[in-house]
Amino acid sequence: MMSVSVRPAVFDDLPSMLEIYGEAVMNTTATYDYEPRTLEYRVAWFEEAKRRQLPIFVATDQEQKVLGWSGLKQYSDRVGYRFTAENSIYVASDQRGRGLGRLLLPPILDAGKARGLHTILAAIDAENEASIQLHASFGFQRVGLFKQVGFKFGRWLDVLFMERLL
């Protein structure tokens, strides 16, 4: 594999992150969005993550091209859930299967623990075996299967919830 580094995301990474997410929206069930998000949405998301001290990382090549990203978002606004976050990992389509998820997951776990989080959740399309195996390899446990809660590409989709206690 080429030389890849992982670092905290900066504002200038947002267009590349938006492009990676948009491709996933249009071509995968990694997200159940139907339309790519706007740059304005991604800027607001980034600012909210910074305000809440939730980590976002990018994997880059030698030229600083963003190849993938990971982050945590608050699971719920209810105060009792303040120690729980949900993770996201997205990798550029031409970079999938090269181990970038293995580089992008540990920093958000470490940063979540340092921030005082107790639980990280992963909501994964139940047919996304690569993501399920990735999370399991980092100690995530299967905790629930929500049957036919998503609908995309003309079919009903199940969501597997996995959790990792920090």
Residue 22 within a domain = yes
Residue 144 within a domain = no
> Smallest Cα–Cα separation from 68: which of 29, 109, 97, 31?
97
Express each pLDDT in 123-149 by its tens digit.
999 999 999 999 999 999 999 999 999
Confidence (pTM): 0.94
pLDDT for position 54 = 96
pLDDT for position 2 = 72
pLDDT of 1 strictly over 70: no
pLDDT of 22 strictly over 80: yes
Domain count, the chain: 1
Neighbouring C-alpha atoms within 13 Å toward the C-beta of 48: 11
CATH code at position 94? 3.40.630.30
Per the CB < 8 A criterion, the answer to whether 29 and 125 are in contact is: yes
Which residue range(s) make up the domain with 72? 5-122
